[in-house]
Each structure stands twice: as C-alpha cells, then as structure tokens.
Structure 1
Amino acid sequence: MDPSRFRRYAPAVAFAGLLLVTSLVPVPESGADAVPTLLGVALDKWVHAGSYGVLTTLLAWGRRTRTVAVVAALATLAVGYGAGIEFLQGLVATRDTSGADFLANAVGAGLAGVGWLAVRDRIAREA
C-alpha cells in the first residue's frame, strides 16, 4: 500500500482507537439512572449515532470513494467494529452490552454513508 494512501486512513484509525478506549473505560456507578433526552431519544444514543457516523465518514474520506457498494462496505465495517466493542463492554464490570447502542451505531453509520454519497456526488458535479 502506498504510504500516502495509508496516511489518509490515519484519522479513521485514531478515531477508532479513541472509540475503543472511551467505550471500555469502567464508569463509576451512580444513583441517577435517568439519561437526558433530545427529541425523545436518550442523549447517549445520539452520541453513539454521531460517533459511528464520524467513523464511517473518516473511512470513506480515507478511501476517497463515491461507489455505493464501497461506502456500504465501510459503513458495515464501522457497524461491525461497534458490535465488537458492544460485546467487549459486556466483559467490563460497570458496562453492559446494549442492543439499543448497536442500533444507534448502525443508524449513525448508515446516515453518514448516505450523506457521504450525496455530498461527494454534488462536489463531483460542481467540479
């Protein structure tokens, strides 16, 4: 692989590492179980969706693609990575595996993939 091509993936790799570390750090247990909501959705789900949307966007940027199949594969990769992290969270004492978190990850990755395709196509038409 060309070194410059590898460097394009560096932000995605760094962000994936950040996601891994922040997702597996034990959190202190608190008496407050209520999670704030935004538009009726728990705030942590918005964070999950946004995080995996960013990861998908960084992967697509690194690949420099406008192909639907490749962007779908990259979004699937991001979702799979999130699924692996969700599994690992089940092994951390103060964390647990959450299907709702997995769904939020998938929604964020999917929306980012669609957004990437729309923006890249528009930029290509204007160039």
Structure 2
Amino acid sequence: MKAAWRAWKHRDDEADEQQTTEGGLKALEVAAVTFANGGETVGVYVPVFATAGAGGMSVYVIVFLALVAVWCLAGRYFATRPLIAKALSRWGHILLPLVLTALGLLILVNGGAFGL
C-alpha cells in the first residue's frame, strides 16, 4: 500500500519514472521479496509433498506446469492487447499492490482468520 501511495503521489515526476525504467529493481530487493513471500508456501506444501507418493507428486508437477503455461499464455495474450497494455503500463504499479492486498484480505476473511 505504501508503494502504491508513493507511486500515485509521484506519478508526474519524470526523474522518478526514468529511474524505475532504467535502473529497475535491484537483485537484493527481488530476493528479499521472494524470500518473504515464500515462507507460507513452504509451510503449506512440504507436508503435502511429504505425504504424496510418487504418483501424487507426478500429478502435482504436471498440473503445476500446465497451469503455469496457462498463466503465461494468458499474460502474453493480455499484454499484447494495445488497450490493456497501455492501461497496465500506466496503472499496473498501483493496481497490482491493491489487487494483491484485497486478495489477501479476502482469503483471510473467508478463512476465518479474524474470528479467532
């Protein structure tokens, strides 16, 4: 949310836009976000993979790879549409954190996390 607010607040700054497009994200920042987001994934999938046999593991791998291919094809399809690509390039850095935050809250609410 903080990054979305900062991006919205400085949306007209040319220097800030030039820095993001030229410099990109630093490898350490990407690694930190990946590490922070991976903790719950490891906690969920290790028990699942430990109890699935070789056949179950094969099914998981095949389904995972097939769905990654679907996501990649869908992403390519939408990114190559001029209207959608223009909207994503302009608003994506604001919309993505908002959508992910809303999705996380929806999962927490539907999972009963606030009723403990």
TM-score between the two structures when normalised by the length of structure 1:
0.29
Q: Identify which of structures 1 and 2 has the higher relative contact order when contacts are C-alpha pairs closer than 8 Å and 6+ apart.
A: 2
Higher helix share: 2
TM-score between the two structures when normalised by the length of structure 2:
0.31
Structure number with larger C-alpha Rg: 2
